[in-house]
Amino acid sequence: MRYIGNKTRLLPFLMGTIQRLGLVRGGAHDAFSGTAAVGRALKSAGWRVVSSDLMTYSYVFQRAYVVARRAPSFAALRAGDPELRRALRSPALRSAVAAHGGEGGALAAVSEYLARWIEPEQGFMGSHFAPAGGRMYFTQENANRIDAIRRTLNEWWTAGLIEDDAYYVLLASLIEGADRVANTAGVYAAYMKSWQSNARRALTLRAGIPLRGARGATAHRADAAAVARGAGAMELIYIDPPYNARQYSGYYHVPEIIARGWFDAVPALRGKTGLVAGEGQRSDWCSGRRAGAALAELLAATEARHALVSYNSEGLLSERDLKDTLGRAAKFGVVQRFSRGYRRYRSDSDRIGRVYQGDRVRELLYHIRLR
C-alpha cells in the first residue's frame, strides 16, 4: 500500500542497525505499526512482536502480517458455501491453486473467487466514492466490486465459515488491492479529476501467505503509550511516529472505511473527499508544540530496555529538541544517531503552498538504552 512513512525500503538499514547494536531477540513493540512492514520484518527475524496503531486498517495489516502464522485451509468455507464449491471446479480456479501450490493454493483460489466470481454490487463505496456518488476515487466497477467483496467477507466471518486469520488476510489484500486501483496520487486527501491508468485496471486480490515467524505476536488498535504500559518488560520499542502535520485519519479515510465495513451503522460523510463526520481526531504527534511531550510520555510508559526512534530530517521536532527528549530518558543520557539518505515520498508535485525541499531526505534513527 502506498503510505507516507512506509519503511519497506529502509528495512535493511533498520534491521542492520538492530543487529549492529547487538540487541537480544525477544519482545519488541512496534508502536506505530502503519502497514506493519517493520513488525513483519521483526517477526521474520525471530522477535515476538507487540504492534499498535490507532487506525483500523493498520490493525487489519497487523493481524494479517504479524499475528497470522499459517495459510488458511478454508475447510469450513468450502463445506458451507455451495457457490464457492462450484467455482472451485472451474479450470480458472484450479489453475490458481496449481500456480501457487502447497499451502498457498487455497488462499489463491479464494482470492480469485472473490475478485472475479462474485457479482459486483453498489454498496457504500459505490454510492459515495465512485461516479454514482459524485467522487472519482474508484471507477464504478471497482467500487462495486469492493462493496461485494467486503460484504462477502463479513458474511463468511460472522457465519463462522472463515476464522479470524483468514478474514484479516483477505481483508488486508482487499485494502491493498483497492489502493492499487485508487484514482489518487498516493493519499486520499483528494482524488484525480481524470482517470489514471492504474484506476482503469480491474481490481485484483493478492493475498500473501502469512509468515511462520516467532510465536506470540499481538495486535492492538490503541494509543501507543497505553499499549506500552500493558506490554510489560521487553527488549525493544521501535517508535516511528508521524513527522509532520498530516493527519492520517484524513489522508487515509477511504482504507479506514473499507477496514471498518460499517455494517451496523452507516457513517455520515462530509466535504468533497467524503471524510467521516465526527472522525476528525488530531494526533499530538502531528503538532510541533505537543510532539515532544508525546514522545516523553511514551518513553516513560514503556518497560523496554532499548528504544529505537525513526525520524525525518524535515520533521516537526528539531534534531536538538528530539535529542534533548531522548537524552532525558536515556541511561546516562547517551543517544546514538544513525542516518540513511533516501528518495522522498511525493504524493503531489511542487505547487503554490507546497514546495518540497529537494527529492532526497535523511532517515534519522536514534538509539537509547532506557534501563
**Which pLDDT score is estimated for 265?**
77
Q: Is the pLDDT of residue 356 over 50?
A: no
Beta-strand ranges (E) seen in 150-251 are 218-221, 233-239
Q: Is the pLDDT of residue 359 over 70?
A: no
Write out pLDDT tens, residues 59-88: 999 999 999 999 998 999 989 988 888 888
256's enclosing H/E stretch is helix 253-260
Query: What is the average pLDDT value for the chain, to the nearest integer?
Result: 90
Give the confidence band of 146 by pLDDT, cuts at 50, 70, 90. Answer: very high
Domain 8-59+216-247+284-369 has CATH 3.20.20.370: no
User: What pLDDT is stored for residue 73 in this prediction?
Assistant: 87
Cα(92)–Cα(95) distance, integer angstroms: 5
As a whole number, mean pLDDT of residues 227-240 equals 97
Domain ranges of the chain: 8-59+216-247+284-369, 75-200
pLDDT computed for residue 243 by the predictor:
83
Could you tell me what percent of the chain has a pLDDT over 90?
Answer: 71
Residue 178's contacts (CB-CB under 8 Å, 6 or more residues apart) are 138, 142, 146, 203, 254, 255, 258
- Say if residue 173's pLDDT is above 60: yes
Q: How many separate helices (H) and strands (E) can be counted in the chain?
A: 16, 9
Question: In this structure, what C-alpha cell is assigned to residue 36?
Answer: 506493519
289, burial (CB in 10 Å: exposed 0-12, middle 13-18, buried 19+): exposed
Average pLDDT over residues 213-232: 96
Q: Which pLDDT belongs to residue 92?
A: 72
